[in-house]
């Protein structure tokens, strides 16, 4: 089982204000934990710069131009109440997109069985025409479209276990039955979407979790809602929006998962990738704001990807 890791120093240069939870130290914590010799076999690669044209797979051109125009020459510019940009943010965003698309290329070409992309800023809150929730563009949605357009994937599943609902991914694929979107998330919580009755064209599967939910309820949501939906859909590729803020240490939510839960969920999705899509699985970092919880969870997730 070949697992590739994409990351890049440019991701540390997307600067957010002091005290902002989505900060460069998140990636430093991941880098430290993956430096352990347990991850010596990880196939590490520098993330490539993305092609701006691929953003148009998920967002209109005028929105792309508006976001690019919001990048400041110096200091920090506010895009919304939670989302800020610094001078290197555009390069970071484009490299995150490049990494996600390269990961898709790798699993379809057989260069890797699965790929973890350690990038920032995250993407799953970005709707078709709205940057929000720390997110500029929807990296997972762009990667799913890239799989369809470049590799002829007929069905792509995006599984989002970030503690916040991926309203952007749901918005982009709302009426598209060629993409399955499954989400476990705390409710009520930002951004306020993700009820069970939000089903799109039958391709949206939301499994909201009450505050203080622990492992048993999370795993039951996977077993009863997410995994059967994937088996019925039989995707050619699974993309994980891998947020680790449902960890019990995380300060932004109230779900009480441990790193063992992320290990288990990873294994379940790998089984479905093997069953339906030639092992093809791409995992994209989303949230996770307690540095220890994030590092331990990523270690469990990547360790499971490597074990096969």
pLDDT, tens only, 164-197: 999 999 999 999 999 999 999 999 999 999 999 9
* Span 67-79, average pLDDT: 97
pLDDT band of 218, cuts 50, 70, 90: very high
pLDDT for the residue 127: 98
- Would you state the pLDDT for residue 43? 98
This prediction's pTM: 0.98
Q: Which domain holds residue 166?
A: 3-307
Q: Does position 308 have pLDDT exceeding 90, yes or no? A: no
User: In terms of C-beta density within 10 A (0-12 exposed, 13-18 middle, 19 or more buried), how is residue 267 classed?
Assistant: middle
Q: What is the mean pLDDT of residues 75-96?
A: 97
C-alpha separations of 43 from 6, 19, 260, 302 in Å: 9, 33, 23, 11
The mean of the pLDDT values for the chain is 98
Task: Answer whether residue 297 shows pLDDT above 90.
Answer: yes
85 backbone dihedrals φ, ψ, rounded to 5°: -130, 145
H helices within 180-308, ranges in order?
215-221, 227-233, 259-276, 291-307
Per-residue pLDDT of 269-281, as tens digits, reads: 999 999 999 999 9
pLDDT class of 62 with cuts at 50, 70, 90: very high
For residue 62, CA distances in Å to 39, 52, 54, 134, 175 come to 42, 13, 14, 20, 22
What's the pLDDT tens digit per position in 154-163?
A: 999 999 999 9
Return the pLDDT at 277.
Answer: 96
Three-state DSSP at 30 gives helix
CATH number of the domain enclosing 177: 3.40.800.20
Catalytic residue among 59, 124, 125, 301: 125
pLDDT recorded at residue 260: 98
Largest CA distance in the chain: 50
Question: For the residues 100-123, what does the mean pLDDT come to?
Answer: 98
Domain count, the chain: 1
In this predicted structure, what is the pLDDT of residue 183?
99
Residue range 133-156, pLDDT digits in tens: 999 999 999 999 999 999 999 999
3-state helix/strand/coil string of 213-245: CEHHHHHHHHHHHHHHHHHHHCCCEEEEEECCC
Rounded-to-10 torsion of CA 43, 46, 51, 56:
60
Clarify whether 276 is annotated catalytic.
no
Across 73-89, average pLDDT: 97
Q: Write the CA distances from 73 to 61, 70, 77, 83, 216, integer angstroms.
A: 22, 10, 9, 17, 48
- In this predicted structure, the answer to whether residue 1 has a pLDDT above a threshold of 90 is no
Q: For 236-268, write each residue's pLDDT tens digit.
A: 999 999 999 999 999 999 999 999 999 999 999
Q: Rounded to an integer, what distance in angstroms lies between the CA atom of residue 265 and that of residue 263? A: 6
């Amino acid at each position: 089982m070949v697992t590739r890791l994409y990351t890049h120093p440019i991701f540390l240069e997307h600067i957010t204000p002091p005290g902002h939870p989505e900060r460069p130290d998140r990636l430093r914590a991941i880098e430290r934990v993956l430096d352990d010799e347990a991850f010596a076999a990880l196939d590490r690669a520098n993330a490539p710069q993305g092609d701006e044209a691929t953003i148009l797979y998920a967002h209109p051109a005028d929105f792309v131009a508006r976001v690019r125009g919001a990048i400041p020459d110096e200091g920090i510019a506010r895009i919304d109440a939670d989302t800020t940009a610094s001078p290197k943010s555009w390069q970071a965003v484009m490299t995150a997109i490049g990494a996600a698309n390269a990961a898709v290329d790798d699993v379809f070409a057989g260069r890797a069985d699965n790929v973890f992309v350690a990038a920032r800023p995250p993407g799953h809150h970005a709707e078709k025409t709205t940057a929000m929730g720390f997110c500029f563009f929807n990296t997972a949605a762009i990667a799913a479209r890239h799989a369809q357009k470049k590799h002829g994937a007929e069905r792509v599943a995006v599984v989002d276990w970030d503690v916040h609902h991926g309203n952007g991914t749901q918005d982009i694929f709302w009426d598209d039955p060629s993409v399955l979107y499954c989400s476990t998330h705390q409710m009520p919580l930002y951004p306020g979407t993700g009820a069970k009755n939000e089903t799109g064209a039958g391709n949206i599967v939301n499994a909201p979790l009450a505050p203080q939910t622990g492992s048993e309820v999370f795993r039951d949501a996977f077993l009863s809602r997410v995994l059967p939906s994937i088996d019925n859909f039989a995707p050619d590729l699974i993309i994980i929006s891998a947020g680790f803020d449902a960890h019990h240490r995380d300060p932004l939510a109230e779900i009480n998962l441990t790193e063992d839960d992320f290990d288990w969920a990873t294994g379940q999705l790998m089984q479905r990738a093997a069953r339906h899509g030639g092992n093809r699985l791409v995992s994209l970092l989303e949230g996770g704001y307690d540095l220890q919880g994030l590092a331990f969870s990523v270690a469990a997730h990547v360790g499971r990807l490597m074990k096969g």
